[in-house]
Chain A
Amino acid sequence: MNVRCTINGKSVSVSVEPGDTLRMMLVRLGHFSVRDSDDGEGFAGSDTVIVDDRPVYANLMLALQAEGSVIRTPDSLAQGGRLSVVQQAMIDAGIVQSAYNAPATALLLTWLLEHDPDPSRETVKDVLSGIFVRDTGYEHYFLAVQLAREYRDSGRYASEIAPQFRDHLSYVGKVKPKVDGRQLVAGWKSFVEDRVEPGACTMIMLRSPHAHAYVTKLDTAEAEAMPGVIAIITAANCPDVFYMSAGQGNPEPSPYDRRLFNWKVRHVGDRVAAIVAETEEQAKAAREKIKVEYQVLKPIFTVEEAMAPGAPVVQNGVAEYLSGAPDGLDAYNKGVDPREGKVIYPFPLHADIRRNVAAAAHGAIGDVAQGFADADVVIERTYQSSQIQCTPLEPHIVYTKIDNDRLVVHASTQVPFHLRRIVARVCGIDENKIHVIKEKVGGGYGSKQDILVEDVAGYATWITRRPILYRNTREEEFIANSTRHPMRVTVKMGARKDGTLTAVYMDVRANTGPYGNHCLTVPMNACSKTLPLLNCPNMKFDVTTYYSNIPPTGAYQGYGAPKGSYALMTCLAEMAEAVGVDPLEMAKKNHVERGFMLEILKSLGEGREGTVVPVGSCGLRKALDEGARMIGWGKKEKAPGNDWRIGKGFAMIQQGSGLPGLDHATCDVVLNTDGTFMVHSGGSDIGTGLDTISVKCVSEVLCVPMEKVSILSGDTDNTLFDTGAYASSGTYFSGNATLKAAENLKEKVLAEAALQMGEKVEHLVLRAPGEVFSNKTGNVLSYAKLSHDALTGVGRGQLVGYGSFVTNNAAIPYGAHFAQVAVNVRTGEVKVQKFYALQDAGTPINPELALCQMYGAALKSIGHSLYEDLVLDKDGVCLTPDFTRYGVPMTSELPEDFKAVLIDEDDEYGPFGAKSISEIATNGAAPAIANAIHDAVGVWIRSWPFTPEKILRQMGKIS
């Protein structure tokens, strides 16, 4: 059938099938910026287009319904290379970050301003209600609209975008357009799906319907014979290689307990077979013909079930150790069912897989028993966190192909170099045979630190030599991706009557699900990113992680810190109530300050001994004081109605900046022949502006405008090694490597200039807009001439700066989050009236991006605290496998008054004084809101999400 319509001003006639959606038609016509984040749920808005002057979801319209319609797509906005006012305003406001649906949002806001030139905040909020934003938290979208209005009306911006820092610097600490903002907002080719070539095969997965079962029969013969089928990979024909999915420092503090496919499935959604075919339809048809029989085993879903004597064992294979094997291992492995596979530990993690213990850790400082004995009050409370999904707008996706007899992996990843290493292990090939290209990442949040799709796609391409596209469905994102570990954290706390803490004990029991990726480090973070906030001399922790049959867990922004923070900070507030001290005064009495030696870190290394360092730059007290002033701490507010009560709460927070002693970043900066610069950074910009940080570092050191510096990053063939974007390492590690490379190049430029100019180095300086100047003679040498002459037949070669950064110094970001909530005592509803995120990020190199990340992470954690929940039924089937049922926050859930504040601190170790910014912002909402709810209605909510039902139950309204 044919559709005749007008698309972006051009009349077209297109042949379509009756079931084709409008989006399918538009993408086929080249409008690939009409993207898909929800498989047609009509929720996330990446597929928004304008049809007959109204915004609609292109996935929810059949192409044939568009007959006679006038359609606008996001790619209509930029004319040639020139962005529209709205697109530019979005970049300038800092909201173009992971940007998977930024083009759709630009279209929507353009449509809004065409119909309502001066919209109210409520109108903007309403129009954006159909767009899901996970990374930047909506707040600066209002600013973007304001900026666009100002520019439209006067040709310039009047509003302040963000505070600026460090007057002596030109680029660092200043609002400057993100270097990849143009391509992202315009919807130009950026993401993995944009790299897929015609003729690529499709891979889909057959997944387990059971939470715990042996595969007893697997027959793929009929499926393999079907038209278009290229390969079917199962436990029967995959490499007998055990590995783990976490992209962590090597050797990893996690067990190798995965095989591409196993004879035992360990969660609903576990892989059973991969089907590679020439088309998706052929792959789906073949999947229907695979015959599988299961021997169903009893599943376990909770820490309590996993701990119980006689509990079913999830990982009951052969235990092996690459180093430090314990005594008695042969006896331990006796009689193991071969279908269970193996669990290989790179080094001992205090595991006992026969009791479902994947890893454990213990540590202490001082004398905890004496500390409790010295206390006037001792309390012990247990806090429970549930399973939370990262929900990146771009699902996990990979495109693999063979080029030059090597495996090429176009990946949406946070860890290209770890990815290469793990895929090499799975495929049984050397790393030089693999080229990983990190494309733009449409949202990672930790989930793309795990190698969840590249392993199987890479292997499939390696054995078939065919180009293959694999993309998770949204449901697969929920059931077969990495999620936040559910945790049960018990805190025992002792204090004197004046509020001084005498002892703190944390017992963390984490649920890692079927596999052990990150199983030690995430739970340890519940302690390592919380206990060092306290100056208490006696502290102890025990961490134990259990296997179970829930969907897989892994890294998620904040790692274990949000859960530990929820427990420790809420317990601190409970202790304040118990001893009758104001919670803010109690916090001030017990927090660390600059110079305090963090002895607790010694026992909080990631599988090895940690390094004791003093507290460096620390804006914690400033954040507490300023936050308290902003929210009117101690002042009772008027409730909005008879049934509502108002409460206030806060939490102290910290994170890290990478992993000192473990992380490593390298970079080179090349002086081009025309005097411009090319940066090759191993770092992985996942939308957060790391590339912009690198470019700013080079511009600052070499005194050139940012447009004279280009960057290539996260490409294993063309950039140097970097451990990747996780643990808040980007700015600190990758940024410092770039800074060192720029400084190294500066030295080389000066040395070369001295030779070319016949002057001494000490008389030369670099100056804008890119030249060497002699203080002695007044002579000038442009970078272009310098580079040209260095590369002539008699020159000394191209100038390249090299930077490698490792450190034992910590650059710890601190902060405080404050919340004011209204709680309805009849319905249990909670409204977040005010949320203030105050953070010390050292020097915010990209202040506008930093603010947006704070909003994004804070709203995300408000979502975790109040709404989001991955719910399983009794058999382990996920009941919330889409955005709507899972419950992510949208514009309707925005706090009425939402502010992010950068506390000015200059760090001695970060590049230009910078520290990390984003992960820490996930740590405050749960304890701040829990404490505010208690302040409002007098009950402590000790499990998230804080649903109305739980509140009513605690209040005794329902049993």
Chain B
Amino acid sequence: MITEFITVTSAGQALHGAREDSAFLAGGTEILRLGSSVSRARMIDLKGLGLDTISVENQSVTIGAMVTFQQALEHDAVPGYLKEALRFCASRTRRNMATIGGNIALVRDDSYLLPTLVAAKARLVLADLATDGSYVEENIPIREYHSFRDHFSGSLILGIILNKPQRFVASSRFSRTAQSPAAITVSFGADISSGEPHDVRICAAIKGSGVVRLLQVEQSVASGHYRNADDAVALAGADILFADDSTGSAGYKRYLLGTAVADLFRCCLAAMGKGESV
């Protein structure tokens, strides 16, 4: 039950206001929804922080954490691959409320954005309090945020940075209806500037298993180990524990992951002029 509502005008104020029973309130589509995984008494409203802008600087696009999905979709500077992921949230009304920062912070196992942002090698701008209580900001790769989630649990996401030139990034989401929870959301990213895929990132949100990187497949793709896209099927998910649930059986999810990774890899090859697009 929410008993306290705090408005703040700076990130420092927000961090200083945080307690064990508090949560940063962004769009509200997760924290305030029926059955939310977050139940806190003290809400710290981030509306007054001015984090709702998108800016383009030199070789990068910075998207404020409070930018809504719909706002990002309507902005010319937001790359197409991210717009593809933003559309995974199929309700326009919800897109009007859900924020980029909120979706990242939740790390849901059916996350709309996290796999794509990991594949895109996005960076996060975080605000935190040092041990002496002083305010600090840091700029970290999103994979670090993902890998060391507990370490950043008290951090406040200020925005994401997407570097140009754009990588090849593509994503797939598999759910029964457009608005049902996804069994699998998977994204494939690679630098294709050299004519070969390198700096590969493959990340999947798997219902019941969490958000995982497919490190072995990444290495195999980057090292040129695979002769064709379908070679990726066998290894994708080999080290993941899949769960049966209402989105599908473990076997189905494993199959889908392999198939989707192979298809995205094929798209990547097609983007380099090496094969047919799917």
Contact = CB atoms under 8 A, between A and B. Distances in A.
B93 A55 contact: yes
B259 to A, nearest CB: 5
Given A65-B47, A885-B181, A890-B177, A130 B91 contact: yes
A869 interface: yes
Interface string B223-253: 0000000000000000000000110110110
B135 interface: no
A892 B178 contact: yes
Interface stretch (B32-40, B126-134, B162-170, B194-202): B32-40
A880 B45 CA distance: 31
Contact of A21 (B4, B32, B276): B32
A611 interface: no
Contact of B252 (A19, A45, A958): A958
Contact of B180 (A54, A641, A867): A867
Contacts of B35: 41, 882
Most chain A CB neighbours (cut-off 10 Å) among B3, B7, B246: B246
A890 B180 CA distance: 10
Most chain A CB neighbours (cut-off 10 Å) among B2, B34, B70, B94: B34
A890 B2 CA distance: 32
B93 A45 contact: yes
Interface string B1-45: 111110100000000000000000100110011110000000101
Contact of B246 (A1, A55, A880, A888): A880
Interface string A36-63: 0011111101001000001111011110
Interface in B128-155: none
B276 to A, nearest CB: 7
A670 to B, nearest CB: 46
A879 B208 CA distance: 13
B34 A41 contact: yes
Interface residues of A, number: 60
Most chain A CB neighbours (cut-off 10 Å) among B47, B96, B176, B256: B176
A691 B3 CA distance: 47
B259 A827 contact: yes
Interface string A554-586: 000000000000000000000000000000000
A486 to B, nearest CB: 16
Interface string A932-949: 000000000000010111
A641 B278 contact: yes
Contact of B33 (A41, A108, A642): A41
A769 B27 CA distance: 57
B142 to A, nearest CB: 26
A959 B176 contact: no
A869 B245 CA distance: 12
B90 A129 contact: yes
A42 B263 contact: no
Contact of B34 (A39, A893, A947): A39
Contacts of B122: none
B105 to A, nearest CB: 17
A884 B179 contact: yes
Contacts of A62: 2, 5, 25, 28, 32, 43, 45
Contacts of A56: 93, 96-97
Contacts of B34: 38-42, 474, 882
A241 to B, nearest CB: 35
Name the interface size band of chain B: 35 or more
Contacts of A957: 255
Contact of A892 (B4, B28, B90, B96): B90
A780 interface: no
A957 B255 CA distance: 8
Nearest to A949: B252
Interface in B66-125: 70, 90-94, 96-97
Nearest to A889: B177
Interface string A633-655: 00000000111000000000000
A947 B28 contact: no
Contacts of A21: 32
B256 A827 contact: yes
B188 interface: no
Interface string B176-194: 1111110000000000000
Interface string B33-64: 11100000001010100000000000000000
A739 interface: no
B45 A65 contact: yes
Contacts of A42: 29, 33-34, 91, 93-94, 97
A41 B176 CA distance: 18
Contacts of A866: 176
A754 interface: no
A642 B276 contact: yes
B265 interface: no
Interface string A828-863: 010000000000000000000000000000000000
Most chain A CB neighbours (cut-off 10 Å) among B93, B174, B248: B93
Contacts of B93: 42, 45, 48, 55-57, 108, 129-131
Interface string A100-123: 000000001000000000000000
Contacts of B245: 879
A239 interface: no
Contacts of A945: 176
Contact of A61 (B28, B92, B94, B278): B28
B43 A18 contact: yes
18 contacts: A40-B34, A43-B91, A55-B93, A60-B28, A60-B33, A64-B45, A65-B25, A126-B92, A128-B92, A129-B93, A129-B178, A641-B278, A871-B246, A879-B245, A885-B246, A949-B248, A958-B251, A959-B251
Given A42-B94, A129-B93, A879-B245, 12 more contacts: A41-B34, A42-B33, A42-B93, A60-B29, A62-B43, A129-B91, A129-B92, A882-B35, A888-B177, A890-B90, A948-B252, A958-B255
Interface of B: 1-5, 7, 25, 28-29, 32-35, 43, 45, 47, 70, 90-94, 96-97, 174, 176-181, 245-246, 248-249, 251-252, 255-256, 259-260, 263, 276, 278
